[in-house]
Structure 1
Amino acid sequence: MTKKQARPGQLPRQGAQPQTLYLQKPKDFEGLISGYKEIRAVSYVASPTLMLSIFEKFQFEYMQLLVGENISVKHYKKDLENKQISLIQKLMHLVKEQKLTVFFPRGKTIHSKFYILKNEDMYRVIVGSANFSEPAAKATKQHNYVVYWDLKSPDPLLEKFVQDYKEHLKNSRLFLDDLIKLAENRDEDEEKVIRTWLSQDVGEVKDLAESETSRVFTDLTRQALSTVDNNEHSENPDTGEPDEEQPASGEIRVIIPSDVKTQEGIEKKLQPLKPSIVKSELRLSARDFSDYVKRSCGVPLMGTHRSSRQVFLHMGDYRGVLSRPVHSREEVRQGLEYIEEYVESYGFGESIDHKRIQANVFEALLYVLSAPFAHEFKKLKKQVDMYSRGPSYLYLYGPSFNGKTNFLRFCLKLMAGRHLEPIAQEYFNKTRIMSAKMFGTVFPLMFDDVNIGSGSNIETVLKNYWEVWWNPGHPVPQIIMTTNRFNPPEWANTRIKRINFDVKFDQKNIQASETLNRILNTDCDFFKLFAHSYLEKLDQPIDNIKEDLLVDELSLSRKIFADFYRFAERSVPDYFPQVPVDKLYDIDKMEWQELFATKVLTQEEHGNKIFVHADKTVHTYEVERFMRLLPQGVKAKRKAHTIIIEGRDKYLEWINAGKRDQGFWKNLMNRFKRTRL
């Protein structure tokens, strides 16, 4: 402490005269603010973590901060996404206990650096260039200059400073107020509330009214699907069997909460249907509601009932049960033949390995067939692994004209029994997905030709859809995507199942077109047989399927097909994926191999590290993409055109596992040894 610097709580001999201090090292500024109980400040603070450390380091009893410069609420919230929940809880409790208040300016940038510190009736006011920022506090090269006053209340100058400080606060917004409101409205533990808050847009508070609105829409879906169930036992006079197609009619009724906010939300959402609300009872036509969901979400109403092994579909004039037990060996044989004919139609395309492509197509088909049961799968998986992610989203990728769109059309026809189109890329957004989620349908959302870039609302959705927002009492549809983008963002890799459709079709191939049209125009009940069997496998003691739930999400689908092939006494095709295709074909490693074979990449070893050098003609963003081909267990970083692999043993284990081209890797390893430094 300099001779001119007054001790906390003591008036300098000059009384209210201003004093100056040239701040050359961190302790100079720390000495100015130490020893006070309260602080009100306008300052740049780089992160909420730094803000908390300041509060704790100087042992303030109360801290009020207006965050200046260009830091936003969104910036702070993004920063907290990567922090431990306990840190957010600590901030939350400080705000609730009125020990911490944080403001952000609205629509303006504030450059002022202004501090008012208090100790009983003694005050210190500091004005100058010094921030609370971490660089200013730690970097010895950064110097600042401040003017400060030590004042005692009451004092006209102090009152002026306080008034000026309040002027700064005008038109500002609070930080964490939306989290506090969310916690007050949710009957959930703090950790789940915080994860929900992190998943929402800034300022978005999904309150009790919104939850009730979602509940009402789910009830409407259940009511509409119950009209299918009610007609299940009516018989077709010609066959004597259950008539699965009944004309949709009748009214659905749901009791809604009496509070005005909830009713307004429901009426606004259903405004095109002109709903009737009489004494808190909402009344709608089942068909109108079904049509509305299809128009607004792009998918029909679908629900499942595990114990009765039933899948219900309501779509316009059609309502039916899309599941039934096997009646004969012949129908299973015909279903498998139909599936195989479609998979083998990919032989019309150009590919370096047709067997691999057909295995990938079959794998994708196993996924889509099981997609309507993702919600039920999640409920069971949660019983054996409380912190499990997923189920994974399907990510189909490959070049243009590779059959991705027609694959979705085939799956939609197979599942719904009628021609439907996948959802176009312009509807691949948070609004569409959250709307479908709210209605409680489990018909998969199949989006075609999308891009899941980072920093978008889609990133928020895919990170939180199953992990945070999912509720066991509220069914939701699975998400399926096709894209031309080979490498998704890094955050998506652990949340998706990537399947490569590395094939290209000649659009002028008449035979290929005729074969596909014939397949798409053929009716097949295979999904009904599969659905019944899948629900049957889900409805057994959890210990019986524990491994299926944890090891391979498509394990139950594989077992059903294996059962069908045995029952039909039909040979299993050699391209059928008995295990996950990524275990059979490591596509990332295959591209990595190709990069070495074409001399785009070379490598050498130095010590315990491997240096992979990219050709100088390759752009650095491509080198970044190459690095993402490495498996998660391999620690690596990029420096210009070089990928530095620090996890040498894991890397060598990866490139040697299941080698498909022994000669290539043997030669590579020989070259590798010769270039060792």
Structure 2
Amino acid sequence: MAKSSSINKIHIAFDGQDTPPLKIHQLFDPRKFNQLLAVTGNVTADFINQYLSKFLKVEIAISQNETDHQYSSNEMVTKVALANSLLAAANKKPAKLFSALSSQNQSNVLDSLFKIEVAPTQVIHSRFYLLSNSDNDDCRVILGSVNLDEHSFDKQHNQYEEVLVFDNDRMLFNNLADHFKKDLQPVLRSFFSTNLLKAAQQQIEESKKDSEDGTGSALVILDNEQTDRIAEQDVTDIIKHDVQQDIDHDILPEMITKAMRDVTTNRTQDKENIARAVKQHDTIYNLQKESVSPRAAKPKLKTREKIAKEVHEALVSGMSPQQRDAEKKYTTFLYDRPMERNLANHASGLFVPNDTGTHPIPFGKIATISQIRDGLKSIAAVMKGYQQYVVDYDDNYGKRFYEAILYAFTAPFLWEIRSKASLNPEDGNDVPNFLILGATAGSGKSTLLRIINQLTWNTDRSLIDFGTIYPSQTPQKKAKTVEAMEHYMSLGSSYPVLMDEIEPYFFQQDQYSRHLVVDTMNELVNHPHAIAPLIGTTNYDSGFTMLRETARRTYYLQIDKVIDESQKGDANKYIYNVRQTLNNTLFKDFVMRMAELLEDDETPWRSFNQESGRLDFLAMTRQIFKHYYEMVDMDVPSYFPETVVDDFKESSRNRWAKLYLTQSDDFKYRSSDQSLLFDISKLNTFNGFTADSIEKYRNALPIELCVDGINGKRGKFVEIKAAEFFRWIGEHNPYEEATDTNAPQDSNNDASEKKARPKKKGFWARLFG
């Protein structure tokens, strides 16, 4: 085996031929070439001072380091290019580099003979070096992995590097030079800002004035006070000047400002990933340390048995037994791999582990007409149970149960549907990864969850009880429970996490629902990949509420009618017998048909409900099921849902409607703004409300109904647009006549429209209209 000293780690090929190692001054030869144009990942002052000082003209663009995170196009601007540029400015890297240059090189920078540039809003990963001579046609192209620093050319640095040198290849040289001029130069800005150069020039001039012979010192050394001030100016200029300039020149889209505003949206996950990476590094570092004998003069690796034991202890030490038990509660795996989809061979692209868990096997099988009929009859039998035993049942209510089943069937493909239905990332929120069944006790919600499990997985044992993920006395139980839910969803499976009895605090407290629902959806819309949907139940109890951001990204179905207490025994017996007949044959057929639609470029994924304007992300599922009924010559049942429902919005509307009808005197009309003022602090326990009623009602009030937007919901007094509020709750506006008495009757009259429109005041209204 070759010794490491004989291994050539700096591989240099000259015109395609291996060559003996060359020194840096031979590659960047100032005697043969006097101009350098370069794109590099790093450049140091020592390298410039030692090897580039004799060049007459130098222009260097600094590119970005490789990122291991898969960012969206907008995030590449905001989280990589712009963030790194701002960090460099804030950390005073330009000033530090400039101060470390020799006085001659500083002078060359001030005279624009030596340029170092960056792209504040663009990510550049290129590496190439173009050397030329202004007196003749000699040229050199250097390609490879090296940067303009000593480490890249140090064979003792224990890093492999490639250096490909092409001498006098004028075609290659011109190609790269043109590429630099046309494609890179428009996005480049000077690394040494105007603020920095101005301070440097001023120091030189002051030195000349103070010197006896008027020459002064040509060396610039900036103190901390100066560099602090320059850093502040540079950060401001990058944000205001450079970003705006690239927007004006169509290098950046105008909506990049929205991406900048949203840059912290997933910051919770980013911080967790950083913390996890630090913990992983500590574990691996300690593992290395413990694998070597601790006190030997010449440390040796321990025996394989000892190392194996330490590896096992290290990898499990980060988890308590409770955490390991919590992770094992999710046991249902269904993997969606669209690249493996082969309809000709009846492959849906879905895979499940085989019985022993040693390898994946395809999932999905076309059913016979008889099997499809049996599957539909099974669903009909389930629905018949609700029809017979639920108090005040009607078909509109029954649609909620069927809608939950349709969602569950579609769940493995939601991430694919989201990417096909979305014109931009924001659209992705219209395909929610969370289905919540808000239900009262005794409504059959847990039974519905088990039925869903049987219809899709042929078992009823995949349910996870929210309250028992961790024992009741576990420290930080709430936070750990949410961490476990996040873990279940991120295992790579597409089968939904079936979660029973989710406690209301999860939806009402920002640190829980926002962390999981909002951050997960933001991750999905920006980086489409398979994250298991979550189908959960929660107690409705006449007061369920969600934070607005959570509600925006959640599909909520309200099951608020109970099974008749007097018939509970018969109902339990009936549904037990029905569940003995359930299987997932229909689901296996469904996945084949959905796979076919996903492979068809003509499938219309953007189907909107005409009344609500909402995207019906289950439209193709409804189409498949309607085709099932047609195939078996059965009528589509009256409880079949034709479009998505919005029970959270409806329950919110109902809550405020009841509040107004019972306490109308507490709503004070403000004629100047045509608004209603309501003292939300009256919703306290003294007045018969629950302790959290204030936040429930505040969350339930749509922002668009509030004067001054979100500000209208804050504080003691809620200010609501009167006309819009009454239309929302479906009640007559008693102030409408007073508002319109003097208004012209012509609906096209501009003055009439101005009169009818509520006036808007305040900072937010003036700013956003």
TM-score under structure 1 length normalisation: 0.54
- Per the alignment, residue 44 of structure 2 pairs with none
For 1:335 and 1:295, the matched residues in 2 are separated by 31
Contact 2:443 2:562 in 1 (8 A): yes
Contact 2:79 2:263 in 1 (8 A): no
For 1:534 and 1:267, the matched residues in 2 are separated by 44
In the alignment, is residue 423 of structure 1 matched against residue 467 of structure 2? no
Shift of 1:349: 4.5
Shift of 1:401: 1.8
Shift of 1:595: 3.6
For 2:608 and 2:398, the matched residues in 1 are separated by 23
Give the letter aligned to residue 728 of structure 2.
Answer: W
Distance change in 2, residues 1:350/1:570 (3 Å): closer
- Which deviates further from its counterpart, 291-300 or 551-560? 291-300
Contact 2:421 2:605 in 1 (8 A): no
Give the letter aligned to residue 268 of structure 1.
Answer: L
Mapping of 1:431-450 within 5 angstroms? Answer: 431-450=483-502
Contact 2:413 2:494 in 1 (8 A): yes
Mapping of 1:319-358 within 5 angstroms? Answer: 321-328=362-369, 330-358=370-398
For 2:424 and 2:377, the matched residues in 1 are separated by 37
Shift of 1:462: 1.7
- Which deviates further from its counterpart, 481-490 or 605-614? 605-614
For 1:595 and 1:349, the matched residues in 2 are separated by 31
Contact 2:556 2:647 in 1 (8 A): no
CA deviation digits over 1:58-90, x for unaligned, max 9? xxxxxxxxxxxxxxxxxxxxxxxxxxx969987
For 2:699 and 2:274, the matched residues in 1 are separated by 34
Contact 1:359 1:581 in 2 (8 A): no
Give the letter aligned to residue 407 of structure 1.
Answer: L
In the alignment, is residue 644 of structure 1 matched against residue 719 of structure 2? yes
Shift of 1:416: 0.8
- Per the alignment, residue 563 of structure 1 pairs with 627
Higher helix fraction (1 or 2) = 2
2:333 to 300, 306, 310: 300
Shift of 1:481: 1.8
Distance change in 2, residues 1:566/1:633 (3 Å): farther
Contact 1:356 1:585 in 2 (8 A): no
Distance change in 2, residues 1:202/1:474 (3 Å): closer
Aligned length: 431
Distance change in 2, residues 1:600/1:513 (3 Å): farther
- Per the alignment, residue 706 of structure 2 pairs with 635
* Structure with bigger gyration radius: 2
Mapping of 1:368-517 within 5 angstroms? Answer: 368-382=408-422, 384-390=423-429, 391-392=431-432, 393-426=434-467, 427=469, 429-451=481-503, 452=506, 453-468=508-523, 474-485=529-540, 486-506=544-564, 509-517=568-576
Distance change in 2, residues 1:466/1:343 (3 Å): same
Contact 2:327 2:488 in 1 (8 A): no
Shift of 1:639: 7.7
| Structure 2 portions without partners, runs of 5+ | 1-76, 94-198, 201-255, 282-306, 470-479, 742-769
Distance change in 2, residues 1:484/1:300 (3 Å): same
Give the letter aligned to residue 204 of structure 1.
Answer: I
CA deviation digits over 1:266-323, x for unaligned, max 9? 9937999xxxxxxxxxxxxxxxxxx999835343344454443253333645986542
1:268 to 315, 327, 340: 315
Distance change in 2, residues 1:202/1:587 (3 Å): closer
Shift of 1:332: 2.4
For 2:535 and 2:648, the matched residues in 1 are separated by 22
Contact 1:293 1:301 in 2 (8 A): no
Shift of 1:456: 2.8
Distance change in 2, residues 1:316/1:421 (3 Å): same
1:518 to 577, 587, 591: 577
CA deviation digits over 1:514-533, x for unaligned, max 9? 11111211133221222222
Shift of 1:562: 1.7
Distance change in 2, residues 1:581/1:351 (3 Å): farther
1:528 to 588, 595, 602: 588
Distance change in 2, residues 1:573/1:333 (3 Å): same
- Per the alignment, residue 578 of structure 1 pairs with 642
Distance change in 2, residues 1:209/1:487 (3 Å): closer
Q: Secondary structure at the match of 2:704?
A: coil
Give the letter aligned to residue 505 of structure 1.
Answer: I
- Per the alignment, residue 40 of structure 1 pairs with none
CA deviation digits over 1:226-265, x for unaligned, max 9? xxxxxxxxxxxxxxxxxxxxxxxxxxxxxxxxxx9xx979
Distance change in 2, residues 1:402/1:210 (3 Å): farther
- Which deviates further from its counterpart, 557-566 or 450-459? 450-459
Give the letter aligned to residue 581 of structure 2.
Answer: T
Q: Secondary structure at the match of 2:427?
A: coil
Distance change in 2, residues 1:642/1:414 (3 Å): same
Q: Secondary structure at the match of 2:484?
A: helix
CA deviation digits over 1:322-364, x for unaligned, max 9? 4222422x33232222112212322345444533321111111
Contact 2:496 2:532 in 1 (8 A): yes
- Which deviates further from its counterpart, 454-463 or 195-204? 195-204
- Per the alignment, residue 654 of structure 1 pairs with 728
For 2:644 and 2:427, the matched residues in 1 are separated by 19
- Which deviates further from its counterpart, 403-412 or 592-601? 592-601
Contact 2:521 2:553 in 1 (8 A): no
Q: Secondary structure at the match of 1:467?
A: helix
For 1:630 and 1:311, the matched residues in 2 are separated by 41
Contact 2:412 2:495 in 1 (8 A): yes
Give the letter aligned to residue 644 of structure 1.
Answer: E
Contact 1:297 1:436 in 2 (8 A): yes
Give the letter aligned to residue 421 of structure 2.
Answer: K
- Per the alignment, residue 88 of structure 2 pairs with 96
Distance change in 2, residues 1:434/1:266 (3 Å): farther
Q: Secondary structure at the match of 2:653?
A: helix
Higher strand fraction (1 or 2) = 1
Contact 2:494 2:533 in 1 (8 A): yes
- Per the alignment, residue 401 of structure 2 pairs with 361
- Which deviates further from its counterpart, 350-359 or 367-376? 350-359
For 2:600 and 2:452, the matched residues in 1 are separated by 27
Distance change in 2, residues 1:632/1:367 (3 Å): farther
Contact 1:601 1:613 in 2 (8 A): no
TM-score under structure 2 length normalisation: 0.48
CA RMSD of superposed structures (Å): 4.7
Contact 2:546 2:699 in 1 (8 A): no
- Per the alignment, residue 111 of structure 1 pairs with none
Shift of 1:547: 3.2
For 2:648 and 2:459, the matched residues in 1 are separated by 34
For 1:371 and 1:419, the matched residues in 2 are separated by 17
Shift of 1:501: 0.5
For 1:208 and 1:591, the matched residues in 2 are separated by 47
Contact 1:294 1:315 in 2 (8 A): no
Give the letter aligned to residue 269 of structure 2.
Answer: S
CA deviation digits over 1:99-157, x for unaligned, max 9? 379xxxxxxxxxxxxxxxxx99xxxxxxxxxxxxxxxxxxxxxxxxxxxxxxxxxxxxx
Give the letter aligned to residue 555 of structure 2.
Answer: K
Contact 1:548 1:556 in 2 (8 A): no
Contact 2:382 2:575 in 1 (8 A): yes
Give the letter aligned to residue 605 of structure 2.
Answer: I
Give the letter aligned to residue 638 of structure 2.
Answer: D
Distance change in 2, residues 1:415/1:628 (3 Å): same
Shift of 1:370: 0.7
Q: Secondary structure at the match of 2:488?
A: helix
Distance change in 2, residues 1:87/1:367 (3 Å): closer
For 1:202 and 1:433, the matched residues in 2 are separated by 15
Shift of 1:631: 3.6
- Per the alignment, residue 152 of structure 1 pairs with none
